[in-house]
Every structure is written in C-alpha cells, then in structure tokens.
Amino acid sequence: MKPVFLGILFLIAPLILTGCGDDEEQQERPAQVVKLVEASQQEVYPGRRFVGRVDAKSTVNYAFQVGGRITEFPAVQGAVIPEGELIARLDQTDYVLQVRAAEAEYEQARRNLNRQRSLRAQGAASQAALDAAIAEAERAETQLDSARQELEYTTLNAPFDALIARRLVENYTTVPPNTEIVRIQDISELRIRFNIPQAMMQHLENGRHFSAEAEIATLPGQRIPLEYREHLTEPDEVAQTYQAEFAPANQNIIALPGTTATVYIKPEAQIDSPLISLPGSALDNDEAGEFRVWVFDPDEGVVHPQRVSVGEMVDDRVMITAGLEAGSRVVATGAHLLRDGMRVKPLDAAL
C-alpha cells in the first residue's frame, strides 16, 4: 500500500504546486493604473446656445375648392399680397351660368309656393300640394346657395398679409378641385424655431422664465431680444428634443423665412439641478447594451460596474440622471479594459 500512496502523491504534487503558482502570480500581478474622476453634481442649469432658423408664423399651401382654368394669377414669388387682395381666379363662365339657372329655378319655385298658399287659403288646394311646393322651394334655395358658394370659390384672396413663397402651378393651367396652386406665408409675426433638450423643456413647462436672444445671420453681431410663444409637446423620435418657438420682441427686423439664427437662452433665476456630470469618455456598455460606469472602491482598491441612466450631452460631458451618487470616483478612460473586481491604482497615487 505504501508504494501506491507514494505514487499518487508523486502524481498530484506538481498540480498542487502549479495551482499555488497561479495564485501567487495573480496576487503578484501589478494593479492597473487608471485615471479617476469625481462625479460632480450640477449646481445650476447653465445658459445654452442653440441653432435655429427664422420662420413664418404659418405656412399654407393654398388651393381652389372647385376646379377650372386659371385666368388670373397676379401672385409674384417673393412679393407680399395684403389681406383680402386677389391671389388667383378661375374662369367663372360656367359658375355664373349655374348661378343664373339656380336663380331661375328658385324664382319659379317661389312663385309656385305663393300660388299654392293662396289656393290653400281658398280651400282649392290640398295640404299635400302645399307641402310639396314648400319642399321644392327649399330645395331650389339650397341649390342657389350652393351655386353662389361655388362661384365664390373660384376666387382666392389673401387670408392675411401673405408672402408668396412659391407658385406651384402656372397661369392658364386647368386644375381639379383642391389642387394646391401657391404656397403663402403669414409674416405678420416672424418666429424663430429651434430644438431644446428635455431638461430645459421641463423647466419651461413648469413656468420658469428664460431670457432669450437671437443673432440672425443677416444681422451679424446684433442680439435681438426674444419672447416665448409656444412649443411642441411631442419630442423628436431620434434626438428626443422639443421644438420651441420664440418671436422677436421688436418686429421691425428684416429677415426672410429660412434664415439661420443662433439663439442664446439662460434662466432668469438660478435652477438647482439633481443631475450628475461625468466626462463622456467614462461611459461604457454592458453585455445588454445598457450604459454603465466603473466605480472605484478605495477600501478594496478594486472597481465595480454600475449601471446608470444617461441624459443629454453638454459639451464633452454627459448628464447622469440615475444610478450614481455625487462624490463617487469613476474611471475616466479605458473602461472597456476593466472587469468586475479588478485591482487598480489611481493615477495620482501612482505618480
């Protein structure tokens, strides 16, 4: 039995020594040197700058509600047509004839109604005959109103002081009903539209006041005060930003819709923010594709992954909305080289 025992011991001894060697090698492996950054809390919401553009209060593609051949089209692209003035008119010949025919039918129906009333009063006509005359007169009156309305539809007048942005068809074109013929813009008040992040939108919806100014490309170096008008409540599907509209406080500015503008916005009062700020290079992704950061444990000298929720980017920093406490020390770069429980040494301690 002794020789057998000695043989077994002889075989397993190298394995034991090899295992001990691996542990010693792992323990002796030098700690990875990493650069740490402290997760800082945003004390105030800073002023921001956005790129927007000048736009009309509204843009409308104008169309006839009836069909026909265009005979008058004085609208000139780039010109402003005062409210109520002619934009375009169709050939009215057929519509005028329809009105005359409807007037004749109505006049005949009205005379017949008066005659049936007189006969009914004398007992010479039945109530059914009178009811039929009343119905016929009402039908004729409705047809006359419809014919007159269609005649009015052959003329397009400016619903407001309209800037002719584009003629969509040419004069003398025959168009079917509801064919868009011209694009007009309401420039009674210019708007500056731009997209703002969700964090700022939250304060805007809560009634916070912001001072806003714009610098228009055609007026370089001139800051124009802005006034808030409205905003969309549905975010952009990709950028998750909201479109806001401001108007120049002084409407005596000269700018065409489509002109680029730089908008400067800052809160009128300090806004405390619970968001944590980190360099964008500190972000990493786990196996599920979720964002995470690597938090340094000073007691153990190791790092552990921490999943976080990410907000907007401000310059080269990212806002952490959840998952991380202020004051935590996080690996700033090289996060893809780390693993859970890995021994590390802060860069400042290694110098």
More confident site: 57 or 26: 57
Least confident of 205-209, 295-299, 324-328: 205-209
**DSSP secondary structure string for all residues of 120-151:** HHTT-S-HHHHHHHHHHHHHHHHHHHHHHHHH
Strand partners, 48: 265
Question: What average pLDDT does this structure show over 73-100?
Answer: 96
The Cα–Cα gap between 313 and 319 comes to 6
Instruction: Say whether pLDDT at 39 is over 70.
Output: yes
More confident site: 44 or 288: 288
The Cα–Cα gap between 245 and 195 comes to 9
CATH of 48-57+188-267, one of 2.60.40.1760, 2.40.30.170, 3.40.50.1970, 3.40.50.10680: 2.40.30.170
More confident site: 276 or 114: 114
Among candidates 66, 63, 65, which has minimal Cα distance to 93? 66
The Cα–Cα gap between 48 and 228 comes to 16
The Cα–Cα gap between 120 and 133 comes to 11
Measured at the CA of 346, the angle between CA 340 and CA 349, to 5 degrees, comes to 150
At residue 197, the 3 state secondary structure works out as coil
Label residue 23 exposed, middle or buried (CB < 10 Å: 0-12, 13-18, 19+).
Answer: exposed
Give ranges for CATH 2.40.30.170 in the chain.
48-57+188-267
Instruction: Say whether pLDDT at 81 is over 80.
Output: yes
Confidence of residue 14 (pLDDT cuts 50, 70, 90): low
Confidence of residue 102 (pLDDT cuts 50, 70, 90): very high
More confident site: 68 or 317: 68
Terminal CA-CA length for the chain: 60
Q: What CATH architecture applies to the domain 31-44+274-350? A: Beta Barrel (2.40)
More confident site: 195 or 319: 195
pLDDT at 109: 96
Cα-based torsion angle of the residue sequence 141, 144, 150, 155 in order, rounded to the nearest 10 degrees: -110
Confidence of residue 21 (pLDDT cuts 50, 70, 90): very low
Instruction: Say whether pLDDT at 156 is over 50.
Output: yes
Q: What CATH architecture applies to the domain 64-90+155-187? A: Beta Barrel (2.40)
Q: What CATH architecture applies to the domain 92-153? A: Orthogonal Bundle (1.10)
pTM, to two decimals: 0.61
Alpha helices (H) along 174-320: 198-205
The Cα–Cα gap between 191 and 16 comes to 79
Mean pLDDT of the chain: 85
**Rg of the Cα trace of the chain?**
39
pLDDT at 9: 46
pLDDT at 86: 97
